[in-house]
Amino acid sequence: MNLSISVCFSCVCHKKDVPLQPSKTIGIMIHRLISQSVAADFFQGKIIAVLGPRQVGKTTLLTQLSIPNEETLWLNCDNIDDCQALEYQTTTELQQLVGNKRYVVIDEAQRVKNIGLTLKMMADAFRNNVQVIVTGSSSLELSNQINEPATGRIYEYRLYPLSLAELSQHTSAREEQRLLEQRLIYGCYPEVVTRPDQAKRILTTIANNYLYKDLLSYNGIRKPEILARLLQALAMQVGEQVSYNELSRLLGIDRATVENYIDLLEKCFVIFKLSSYSGNLRTELRHNRKIYFYDNGIRNAIISNFAPINLRTDAGALWENMMLSERVKHNAYRQSYAQIYFWRTQAQAEIDFVEIEDGAMQAYEFKFNPNKLPRAPKAFRDTYPNASFEVITPDNYQSFVGIMY
């Protein structure tokens, strides 16, 4: 079944769309920040798993790791023959399959039944002699399948759409500042960045096809049209608290189905959740959540709106979404274990983003208008006097997202 989210191509070619500017990244393979960390883990007796959305460059990443093609067994598990070659095999059969290759790449490994047990046998049989690398565009089954049987045998990495830090390394911080509005509207999927003249078509294709390929193969999705409407509702609520009960009433489905679908969207790397932080205050909200998209372009494709910033009413939400998704990338690539939240009281005092790392609390507000620089709410200052506070604007965001000068 093909899921469409009602993004017609005629809609995304509106004459008032933000004009696309030429980019210095056209035709260039952009270096990914995790490549050195991944390569450093080769032949350490661990299987390497690279998880992330489709079309973000997981296979391209592997080509940056200088894996010699003649020494590599490449298996694409979107191909049924490659998939079946790995299913329910004995250790001896796996050794025969690999032969004298030093690398095994298993692309889209979530397609393989019982993949966790297969990887466990590979890890035990090959140890330091063969490096096994698996990629997956969905953690629906993959994380659970590989982590339970293969406990202690996996190093897991996440790969996202290109980060502003990665882009600035290939152009410059100044160039990315020039293209900031373009990134806000069209996001940072690799093909969007390298082919800006085709950005709307590419994003529409990703949104209508690739984004849901793994979701629709999961038997928990019984109403794909409801999933599309849910995504549109979430896209309109970026930066706001999300009520599962309200979504249930809006979509005409029970709360449990809403929770299940949101969980699946998160596991397929479409969205991510931010929970509310609560210390000791009775007035602080608990068990609340906000939902963000990993890519601004996908969010805008879902609602069929590529209008320029000066014609939009959601510029603040776009800025908040991009800064949060960029911070998630930055933390993942520097292997930070920071915990992330938002903060709000029953009196509606609020802070957009709270990050806690090694016991230190940092609080941030995101303001697209640099002329509006609020202070931290008094309730927050009084309760967490040692927390730092900063307002992130288009004038000062670079260090927050990992851009180095």
pLDDT in tens, 109-152: 888 888 888 998 999 999 889 999 999 886 655 555 655 666 67
The verdict on residue 81 lying in a domain is: yes
Same domain flag for 356 and 323: yes
The verdict on residue 264 lying in a domain is: yes
The verdict on residue 275 lying in a domain is: yes
SS3 state of residue 4 = coil
For residue 195, CA distances in Å to 20, 118, 186, 190, 191 come to 10, 38, 11, 8, 6
The verdict on residue 172 lying in a domain is: no
Residues of the chain with pLDDT under 70: 1-28, 138-151, 212-214, 216-222, 280-286
- Report the alpha-carbon distance of residue 160 to residue 334 in Å, rounded: 13
Which residue, of 111, 135, 158, is where some domain finishes?
Answer: 158
Record the tokens describing residue 303, joined without a space.
């609602």
Which positions ≥6 away from 128 have C-beta within 8 Å? Answer: 43, 44, 45
Record the tokens describing residue 285, joined without a space.
């909200």
Radius of gyration of the chain (CA): 22
Which positions ≥6 away from 214 have C-beta within 8 Å? Answer: 54, 110, 137, 138, 140, 268
Same domain flag for 257 and 287: yes
Same domain flag for 125 and 87: yes
Which positions ≥6 away from 231 have C-beta within 8 Å? Answer: 5, 265, 270, 302
Same domain flag for 13 and 48: no
Strand spans (E) along 149-197: 154-158
What pLDDT is recorded for position 393? Answer: 97
Same domain flag for 276 and 385: yes
Phi, psi of 332 (to 5 degrees): -65, -45
CATH number at residue 48: 3.40.50.300
CATH number at residue 273: 1.10.10.10
Report the amino acid identity of residue 264.
L
Query: What residue has token string 């979430």?
Result: 234
Same domain flag for 264 and 207: yes
What pLDDT is recorded for position 130? Answer: 95
The verdict on residue 316 lying in a domain is: yes
Which residue, of 142, 158, 174, is where some domain finishes?
Answer: 158
Torsion of CA 191, 49, 300, 228, to 10 degrees: 120
- Among 116, 129, 45, 113, which Cα is nearest to 80's? 113
Report the amino acid identity of residue 190.
P
Same domain flag for 46 and 138: yes
Which residue, of 108, 135, 158, is where some domain finishes?
Answer: 158
Q: Report whether 17 contacts 199 (CB < 8 A).
A: no
Domain count, the chain: 2
Same domain flag for 53 and 144: yes
| Structural element, H or E, at residue 231 | helix 224-235
Residue burial 323-352, b: 16+ Cβ < 10 Å; e: rest: bbbbbbbbbbbeeeeeebbbbbbeeeeebb
Same domain flag for 340 and 262: yes
Report the amino acid identity of residue 371.
N
Q: Is the dihedral of CA 246, 2, 307, 169 positive or negative?
A: positive
For residue range 157-167, what is the model confidence (pLDDT) as tens digits?
999 999 999 99
The verdict on residue 71 lying in a domain is: yes
Record the tokens describing residue 261, joined without a space.
């679908």
SS3 state of residue 74 = strand
Same domain flag for 13 and 42: no
Which positions ≥6 away from 72 have C-beta within 8 Å? Answer: 101, 102, 103, 104, 105
What pLDDT is recorded for position 377? Answer: 93
Residue 293 forms beta bridges with which residues? 271
What pLDDT is recorded for position 15? Answer: 37
Same domain flag for 88 and 202: no
What pLDDT is recorded for position 20? Answer: 61
The verdict on residue 280 lying in a domain is: yes
Report the amino acid identity of residue 282.
R
Same domain flag for 214 and 319: yes
Domain extent for 136 = 35-158
What pLDDT is recorded for position 10? Answer: 32
What pLDDT is recorded for position 144? Answer: 59
Record the tokens describing residue 115, joined without a space.
């993949």
- Report the alpha-carbon distance of residue 136 to residue 56 in Å, rounded: 11
Record the tokens describing residue 273, joined without a space.
């959740």
What pLDDT is recorded for position 153? Answer: 84
Tell me the Ramachandran region of residue 404: left when phi exceeds 0, alpha when psi lies from -120 to 50, beta otherwise: beta
The verdict on residue 29 lying in a domain is: no
What pLDDT is recorded for position 27? Answer: 46
